[in-house]
Structure 1
Amino acid sequence: MKLPNYLALISLLFSTYGLAGSTFCSLSLSQHRIDYPLQSRWQLQQQAAGMQRSFGTQNVLLMANCSESQAIDLQILGTSGQYQTLLFGKKGILQVKVRDAHLDGKPVELMLQRGETMIPMSENKTLSLLSGDRLKAMEFGHVVTGKKLFMQLEIEPLLPSDELRVASLTTHEATLTLRLLPVL
């Protein structure tokens, strides 16, 4: 008897907390957990390169809310895989992209800090975030202050094709931590 080749429940767990400087700040998400339904490998979306399959993109809204106007510095943390990518399961990649950032209701550009490198993120530039990356609201190359920062996170778990050949129910997970850092 042949067992079905199913991949199981996919969970992304988010934990958020924050205190920046002497001002109280909090983080909230539209959802703290993303569960994907039971799927076979044939139901997953094949990527253009053909070596990976996607469970689909989910959008999560993030809001940082501070009691006083200040610079908001957000850090993304997760288990690192090959090339510092966010690890999904044992060999997969968790792609996280940022869209539609607003500070106090106005569109704002974000500056991505990756180690010592600063990368401007304009609307037409999307980068997958890596563990340790930091995001700051910018305007004309300078950090701007505000009380409320909104952004949309696009979450897409990818698995290599060789991870999809299973003989029983398999669960893949990733944990992503978002935190506010004090701005000095």
Structure 2
Amino acid sequence: MAVVYAEFARDALDALPLDRAVLAVFAEFVQAAGTGLVAELGCGPGQTTAHLRGLGLDVFGVDLSPVMIGLARRAYPGLRFEVGSMDALDLADGELRGVVSWYSVIHAPPHVMPSYFTEFRRVLAPDGHLLLGFFESEGEAVTAFDHKVTTAYRWPIDELAGLAGEAGFAEIGRMLREPGEGERYRRGHLLMRKDR
């Protein structure tokens, strides 16, 4: 499945101008705050990590799947990719200037989501930035749905922003977009800053 997904996702951003705009805004905020490392957590085959590098960020990717990391290393040999878990990163406290979770927290069951935010906050420097991409539920409840990899979850944007706030993040902005051709669900994006 990883090879099929890598082929499908490789050029996906090319047809998504609003998504590219959100990533560009994140990069601009990170760069305005100074230099430092950015991690894409749940990077899959690495296409978003490579896009972020193209935006001028010093970025590396982390994914739980060794197969995905192998695909990313082959596709983007000049970038750093590591096997690891988003909720137990092998990084020092405050090591990162930015964290991107681009449709990777969708597989976290709702009861474990707070632990992800806790880990994101731990590894971010003061005033570090977090960008989440996810499927929006268009309702008042978290909704499970069938995904080719494993069960995934759609979140009400206010609820996900609230959980991040409880973990010590301040919202900077959000963007919702309607499903494009071939997409099933509305997409949500949250840009946040680590509170001191």
TM-score between the two structures when normalised by the length of structure 1: 0.28
Structure with higher Rg: it is 1
Larger strand proportion, structure 1 or 2? 1
If asked which structure has higher relative contact order (CA below 8 Å, sep 6+), I would say: 1
TM-score between the two structures when normalised by the length of structure 2: 0.27
